[in-house]
């Protein structure tokens, strides 16, 4: 039996930027397991979405980590030059669709810059319908690759590109937390909807066991059938 359950957030535990369902909240709260949320979102956003579920939070794809009481474990920030390099790439990407608010597209989260093609706070139904198979984002990165010595970009969320320091990805920080806590990798499993090549969950493959899911309902079913 797994003791430490790691989860992506959007499209895995909750819908995009939405609070956790009552059924998911009850299952995780009463599981008796260590719950760890690993997301491109900030730790503050994670806390709001899980709505009281006690969990470790690895925000900004792991660059900011907090324990279950909200105490800081670590925080790593991008430099001014790194942020400028990221913005240069974002400005190269064409946009052939309308957006509601241009100012809602880019979020500087400190250790990560997140670029939503549609808007971080756009209506959830629009976000879910915009690029459900990540085809738009994959195509953009194929045509406009991000070539950097120190930075990387991954597909995340429903509409986002997540820019972070190279090598400082979810897999790196999952392994770091396991080592820091003295846990065993074989006692851990990770659930994510973006375990495909280029997705921001891919880096966890090979670090611990993984479960690919399509949505929160899928996650709930697998949890009930195999882990809780």
Cβ neighbours, 10 Å, residue 180: 11
What is the model's pLDDT at position 186?
A: 98
Give the rounded percent of residues in the chain with a pLDDT score beyond 90. Answer: 100
Rg (CA), the chain: 17
Percent of the chain with pLDDT over 70: 100
Tell me, what's the pLDDT at 54? 98
Give me the residues paired with residue 153 across strands. Answer: 163
- Annotation: CATH topology of 4-76+168-227: Rossmann fold (3.40.50)
Using 70 as the pLDDT threshold, list the residues of the chain that sit under it: none
- Nearest CA to 195 among 182, 186, 181, 208? 208
CATH fold for domain 80-165: 3.30.1240
Q: Is-above-0.75 flag for pTM?
A: yes
Cβ count within 10 A of residue 111: 20
Angle at 175 between CA 186 and CA 47, to 5 degrees: 105
- How far is the C-alpha of 129 from the C-alpha of 224, rounded, in Å? 28
Q: What is the pLDDT of residues 125-155, one digit of tens each?
A: 999 999 999 999 999 999 999 999 999 999 9
What is the distance between the alpha carbons of residues 63 and 112, in angstroms, rounded to a whole number? 8
Measure the N-to-C terminal CA separation of the chain; round to a whole number of Å: 9
> Which pLDDT score is estimated for 68?
97
List phi, psi (to 5°) of 192.
-155, 155
- Closest of 102, 108, 65 to residue 83, by C-alpha: 108
Let me know how many helices (H) and strands (E) the chain has, helices first: 7, 11
CB within 8 Å of 108: residues ≥ 6 apart: 83
- Domain borders along the chain are 4-76+168-227, 80-165
Q: Residue 47, SS3?
A: helix
Q: Which pairing describes strands 113-116 and 106-108: parallel, antiparallel, or unpaired?
A: antiparallel
Measured distance CA(104)–CA(119) in Å, rounded: 5
């Amino acid at each position: 039996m797994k003791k430490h359950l790691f989860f992506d957030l959007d499209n895995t535990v909750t819908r995009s930027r939405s609070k956790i369902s009552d059924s998911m909240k009850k299952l995780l709260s009463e599981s008796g397991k260590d719950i760890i949320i690993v997301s491109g979102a900030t730790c503050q956003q994670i806390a709001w979405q899980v709505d009281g579920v006690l969990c470790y939070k690895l925000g900004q794809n792991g660059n900011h980590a907090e324990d279950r009481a909200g105490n800081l474990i670590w925080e790593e920030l991008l430099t001014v030059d790194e942020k400028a390099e990221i913005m240069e790439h974002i400005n190269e990407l064409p946009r052939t669709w309308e957006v509601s608010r241009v100012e809602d597209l880019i979020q500087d989260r400190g250790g990560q810059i997140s670029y939503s093609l549609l808007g971080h706070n756009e209506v959830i139904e629009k976000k879910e319908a915009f690029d459900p198979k990540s085809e738009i984002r994959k195509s953009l990165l194929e045509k406009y690759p991000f070539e950097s010595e120190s930075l990387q970009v991954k597909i995340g969320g429903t509409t986002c590109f997540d820019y972070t320091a190279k090598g400082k990805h979810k897999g790196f920080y999952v392994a770091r937390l396991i080592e820091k806590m003295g846990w065993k990798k074989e006692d851990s499993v990770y659930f994510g909807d973006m375990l495909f090549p280029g997705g921001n969950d891919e880096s966890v493959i090979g670090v611990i066991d993984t479960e690919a899911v399509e949505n929160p309902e899928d996650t709930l079913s697998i949890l009930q059938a195999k882990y809780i």
